[in-house]
Each structure stands twice: as C-alpha cells, then as structure tokens.
Amino acid sequence: MIKVLIIGASGQLGQSFQYWAPHFPGYKFLFKDLPEFDLMDQMAVSAYFMETSINIVINCAAYTAVDLAEKEQDLAKKVNTDAVALLCDLSKKHQFKLVHFSTDYVFDGTANAPYREDHPVNPIGVYGKTKAAAEAIIQAAAIDSWIIRTSWLFSPYGKNFVKTIFSLLQNKEKIDVVSDQTGSPTYAMDLAEATLKAIDQNPEFTGVHRYHFSNSGETSWYGLAVEIKKLNHSSCRVNPLTTADYPTAAARPKYTVLSGEKIKKEFNLTPRSWESALEACLKKIK
C-alpha cells in the first residue's frame, strides 16, 4: 500500500485532503501538523523519516499571511522556503516523492492572458518571493516532485476570503471590496480531490513537474463578494473599491489567472466553474 504523508493537515487544504482520503482506499494516509510535527525542527522531522517509511509527501504547510509576511520576513522564509529545502534533502535521502503547493503570487500580475506553467516568475511581495524561492529549490534539487500552483483558495475550513465575506454580509449594512484585481477562485476541496486523482493515475511519477490548478473562469474580489451576496440573498450593499483606495502592507498582483490546460491534458481533470464550487462551499459553511 502506498503511504502518503500530509503535512499541514489542520489547514484548509490539509482538512480538504482529510475529507477525501477515505475515497482513496488504495493509500494509507498519515496526517501531521503543529505542534507535534514542526517543519522548523529539523532533528525531529529527520527522525520521523528515519522511523517511518513514506512513499509520497504532500506539503500543505505554508505561511500565507500576505501582509504580515512583509513584517515577519524571517518566519515566512523559514516556513515557505527553508522547510521545503529540508523536505528536498529528506526526499533524496529517503526516496519519497514530494507534492508541493505554490501560488499565483509568484507572478507580478502584469500579464493580460492566463499564466502558463513556463511563464517566468517575478513576485512583488515577500510571500510570493518565499514561495518562488521554494520552487527554485525543488527545481534545483531535481527530486521527483510536483509543484502545483493555485490561487484565491477558499473552503469551509480555516480562515479565507469567502468565510470572511459570508460573515460580514450577515453583520454589516455595507462592505467595500477591491474590484481591480483579477484571478481564479479555487475551492480547496476540488484542489485536494484533483491532486489525489492525479496521484492515483501516476503514483510513480519521476522528475520535477509544474502544474496550475484553479476552478474555471475568472473574477475580481468584488465579483466574488457579489456572488456570495447573491447566493445568500443578502441585503448588505457591496461597493467596488480600487486597490489605490485600499492600501495594504504587501503589493498585490493585478492579474493572476492561471492556465489549467496542462493538468487537464495530462490527467483529464476539468475543474468546475468557480461559481459552482462557491455554491457547494457555501452549502457546507451554512
């Protein structure tokens, strides 16, 4: 039986993998997270792999506080970059394959067509830089690995934009939401399911491969908020705002729609629309 270790199991993506794991009975899943599994504790993590035989590691652990990362640069680097370097070293030593999640924020947002996997990275904030650095480390290590970039992640779990807006719509008369940043919302449940389906098709993959996965279609944060309002029949007013009107510690890329053609072609995975995924998520949240 193929043994799969999920790191970062209590985050929104990790919990989505926990949901899908029983649907893949040919695999033995192990779920680990803080405090008992700390990627920054090199000795403890190394000891774990000495004692436990693992075939595939799925790394869902990440520092994702985009604005706070501008202040907590060292911590963001430790979690998003240094921990990945450790996993690469351990992959070479213990021969496990690595599935690692990256982000649309490795791009600068100046494109006017969906980003393909081979588009040069050019992150504009600390968060994106730490994630791009991790990608470079995996590439240089040349281990058997998948780098899966995703965007605008939401789910019924943890903290995310959809849950925040859902709550605000119930408690406010009006909210202001940025309307000039464009991307593709991604349902963490769909990302986890697609990843496991891809692994199931090719569990013996070799070499480094980059993929993009998001739900189909594109919108702005404002457009996403309006759709949440519509699905909730909320009377709260949603007003569009420009990025300039809403300054943040970290610069945000203006356009980060990801092309998902490669993962569709290789694994016959066709993501549903973000609107359909959002509706499914809101049903779970309610």
Q: Which residues are catalytic?
A: 127
Residue 209 CB coordination number (10 Å): 18
User: Vertex 16, ends 217 and 144: CA angle to 5°?
Assistant: 85
Torsion of CA 156, 161, 167, 172, to 10 degrees: -170
Q: How far apart are CA 193 and CA 263, in angstroms?
A: 13
Residue 46 CB coordination number (10 Å): 15
Could you list the beta-strand ranges (E) of 63-207. 97-103, 145-150, 153-154, 174-178, 182-183, 186-187
Q: How far apart are CA 90 and CA 112, in angstroms?
A: 39
Note the Cα 210 to chain centre separation in Å: 14
CA atoms within 13 A on the CB side of 206: 0
Q: How far apart are CA 154 and CA 20, in angstroms?
A: 16
CB 184, CB 274: distance < 8 Å: yes
CA distance readout (Å), 86 to 65, 100, 168, 206: 22, 13, 40, 19
Token reading at 231: 């699905």
CB 121, CB 106: distance < 8 Å: yes
Token reading at 248: 């943040």
Q: How far apart are CA 4 and CA 30, in angstroms?
A: 6
